[in-house]
Structure formats: C-alpha cells, structure tokens
Amino acid sequence: MSGQIEKAAALLHAGELVAFPTETVYGLGADASNPEAVSKIFAAKGRPADHPLIVHIPGAEHLERWAREIPETAHALAKAFWPGPLTLILKRQPNVPDAVTGGQDTVGIRVPSHPLALELLHAFGGGIAAPSANRYGHVSPTTAQHVHDELGDAVAMILDGGPCRVGIESTIVDLTGTQAHILRPGMVSAFDLGRVLGRIPDAGGRDSPRVSGSLEAHYAPRTPLALLQPDVVIFAVREALAADQRIGVIAPMACPLSDERIVWRQISGEAAGFAHDIYALLRDLDSLGLARIVVQKPPQNENWRAVNDRLQRAVAGSGAG
C-alpha cells in the first residue's frame, strides 16, 4: 500500500474529508459511518442537508452492511457492472446515519472501478460517503486540479488519479420498488441494464427532488450556455463577432473561421469520448470570461441519453453568477 493511500485512510478514520478519483468523476469522501464527518461534506459543498449521498464500498460482499432486503436483481447488477459506474438504491440498514440518506429509508451504494478508489476503500475497510467534489450546482470535477480549484481549502487531502475515464456521474437505479427505475442516466445504459434484468427499466419512475442530479439547474457553468443544432452554431458565432463578443464553442467539427475572439474546442463525435471531455471543457471555457458558450447539440438517441441529460441541466443552470 502506498504512503498516500495509508495517509488518506487514516484521515478518513479521523473524521476528515478526502477527495479521491473514481472512474466517473472525483468524489468528496468521508467515513460513511461517522455523522460528524459526513456533515463536513455538506458544509464544504454548500449542499442542502436532506440530499442523500452515495456510499462507496470495496466490493459487493459489503452490501449487507449497508442495505437490507436486497433483491436478486441487485446481486445480478452488481455482478455484471461492479466495480463500475452504477449506483444501486436499496433499503438501508438501520445503522446507516441519517446524514448519509437524507433521513430516507433507502441508501445509494456503488463499487467504483478506479484503482486508487479501490485501494483506498480496501485500506479504509468501510464505506466512504461521497458526492461529486464540486460546489453545489456546479460542474463535476474530472481532474484533481478541478477539485483543488474549487474545494482546495475545505479538504484535508486530494488523491490525484489523473483524468477520470468515464467523465460523467454514475447511472442510478432504484431497486426498492417492484420494478427497477433509472433515477439518473449514465454510461451504463438502459439497454445494458435490460440485458441483465430481462426488461429495460424506465426512466425516473419517482421524480424525487431528493436526487439533486434531477433538479433542473445542475452541472452548470457560470457563463450563459446554449445547445444549438450544427447548422445554427456558425450563425451564433457570426452574431457574436458582429457584436464584438468573445464566444466559446464545443463541437466535433474543426473551427471553420479564423478569429481570435472565437475559442473553439473540438470534442469527440462519439458519446463515450464526448462524456470523457465535456465537464473539463465547460470548466476551461467557463474560466475565460466569455460572453457565451455554445455546445453543438449531440444526436438525440439512447446512446447519448446521459450526455444530453447533463447538457440540458447545464443549460438550465448556466449564467447564474
């Protein structure tokens, strides 16, 4: 075990906050069995106290410590997708602190696949409660530098595991009802889940504000953001130039114009590549004081569902400061 991991595990045991990489985004971790430690997460993020947190565990064999009445579907999904970007909502064990569950009778659980996250979880030996390591409502961090920029003073330690492989948050599936529901789409798709469940789960059966990721304004940059069809992007750019404004563009094509007032970032035309880069690009453009940011609207199909979900929320919450 490396010294860094040992130190991070000791800090968690001491009730401190440790930011760590997962394959989706960076998490802001605390000992999930320690309500005082968990309360520090809410203070650092500026997040409402009734929004529940995901408990990260080292392996499915820890499920029973946190969840009860675990259905067969949970074991099947865990076997197929853990470690990986899937969170299961299950009935909680009575010992799970209210601070973690927002006082609900359910708990969100996942086994992340990033090697550093797994090392940390094994060294710590328990559950780590962790939301994305950003301020409430802002863009999730996908590098250690992002966490440092946003929460630097508020955390005892930031483990650097490089850029996150997936780039957007885990798929959340609610297994507490008679049928599985997707509460938050992610890169584990409805089809992927359907292959294991024998039935494609529907989206958001219970539209609960308890899922902060389901609030309209979330994952948002401060610069006004628009999602535009490919043929409209270039009109928006010309309009900005006519008004002598600086504009940021995120699109799969190369910049067709040469003008220093245009900050153009090319992004993958594939959903996985797009998800990998979108938060970092939004953060980068958001730091430049541009008049607006335009993102070329991706295809509206199932492959792109999770990406489109995050983009819509980013647009809804953008320009707020």
Contact positions toward ligand TXA, by CB under 6 A? 22, 24-25, 27, 51-54, 85, 87, 89, 101, 104, 106-108, 112, 130-132, 169-170, 172, 183, 210-213
Which residue has the closest beta carbon to Mg ion?
A: 132
318 binds, among Mg ion, ligand TXA, none (CB under 5 to 8 A by kind): none
For ligand TXA, the closer CB: 53 or 225 = 53
C-alpha count within 13 angstroms, C-beta hemisphere, residue 142: 22
Minimum distance, C-beta of residue 169 to Mg ion, in the bound complex (Å):
6
The CA distance from 45 to 40, in Å, is 9
Answer yes or no whether residue 132 interacts with Mg ion by CB under 5 A: yes
- End-to-end CA gap in the chain: 43
For ligand TXA, the closer CB: 140 or 296 = 140
Which residue has the closest beta carbon to ligand TXA?
A: 131
Minimum distance, C-beta of residue 54 to ligand TXA, in the bound complex (Å):
5
For ligand TXA, the closer CB: 107 or 314 = 107
The CA distance from 276 to 217, in Å, is 21
Residue entry with tokens 């999904």: 77
Q: Is the distance from CB of 196 to CB of 72 less than 8 angstroms?
A: no
For ligand TXA, the closer CB: 167 or 298 = 167
For ligand TXA, the closer CB: 85 or 97 = 85
Neighbour tally for 46: CB within 10 Å? 11
Answer yes or no whether residue 101 interacts with Mg ion by CB under 5 A: no
| Structure-block tokens of residue 296 | 């070329």
Residue entry with tokens 């565990």: 57
Bond before 230 cis per omega within 30 degrees: no
Interface residue list for Mg ion (CB under 5 A)? 132
